[in-house]
Structures are given as C-alpha cells and as structure tokens.
Amino acid sequence: MPADEGINDQHPAGAQSPLDRVASVGHAARYALACIRVVNGAVALAAPGVIIRRFGESPGDDNAAVYGLRMFGVRTVLIGFDLVALSGAPLRRALGQAVIIHASDTATAACLGLSGRVRPRTAVTLTLISATNTGLAVTAYLAARRDEV
C-alpha cells in the first residue's frame, strides 16, 4: 500500500484534519487581532476622547492622554495592517512582536490596577482586553510557526 493511501480515509470529504483546524484558528486569530488593532488605532487617532471617556476621564482635562492616544493610534493602525499584508518570515516576525507587545500591555494594565494608579474596574477591563489580544497573538504566532515547517 502506498505511503499516502488511506490518509484521506481518516477525514471524510470536507472534514479538516486537526492540523488544518489549528491553521484555521490561527488565521482567524491573526485577522481578528488585525481588525482590533485597526479599529482601536483609528478611534485613538481620530477620536481619542471616546477612549478617554470610556475610562471615566475628561478628555479636556488630559491633553497628554489625547497626544499619547493619537501617537499610538497611528502606530496601531499600521501594525494592524501588517498582520493582513505581510506573509512568510516578515509575518512571523510581526506576530512574534505582537506577542511581546500585547503581553507587555497586559502586564502594564495589571500593574496599574495592583498599584492603585487606575480605578479597579478600569484596570480589570484593560487587563482582560490586553490578555485577549495576547491570546490572539500567541494563537496566530503558533499557527504561523506551524506553517513554517
């Protein structure tokens, strides 16, 4: 019997192998993270007051926050587009950086909450959002690494 005979018998027509499902989940995570980055970055860039108000602050009282959100907004949009436009080694590099970026965001949000520098509800929200993004980044990175071999 040839080496590849019987392989398709394990997965009926139209069914995905476990490795194909991993790749599908990884691709979905990549595009979800890209969408989150582009939307959040665009809001931060175009309407930073919306984000500031969501956390119970007044945009008029915090020009530094407006500046910071706009500065990071444009960067967030660009790195979001990278997740859609890149492929191969550059994509794997961008996904590896995404893990670091979002894990550090998660740690920062948690530390701000633990230190009392932001309201507890805000800290929990920021930490959960950042942890979700970290999970998406890790999932997409691992799938991209799997595609590499």
106: tokens are 């998660």
Q: What is the DSSP letter of 118?
A: S
* Residue 79: other Cβ atoms inside 10 A: 18
- Cβ contact 123:113 at 8 Å: yes
User: Alpha carbon of 149 to those of 4, 19, 96, 143: distances in Å?
Assistant: 19, 12, 16, 10
38-47, 61-70, 134-143: lowest mean pLDDT where? 61-70
pLDDT in tens, 81-127: 999 999 999 999 999 999 999 999 999 999 999 999 988 999 999 99
What are the extents of the domains in the chain? 23-148
Q: What is the pLDDT of residues 48-57, one digit of tens each?
A: 999 988 877 8
pTM score: 0.82
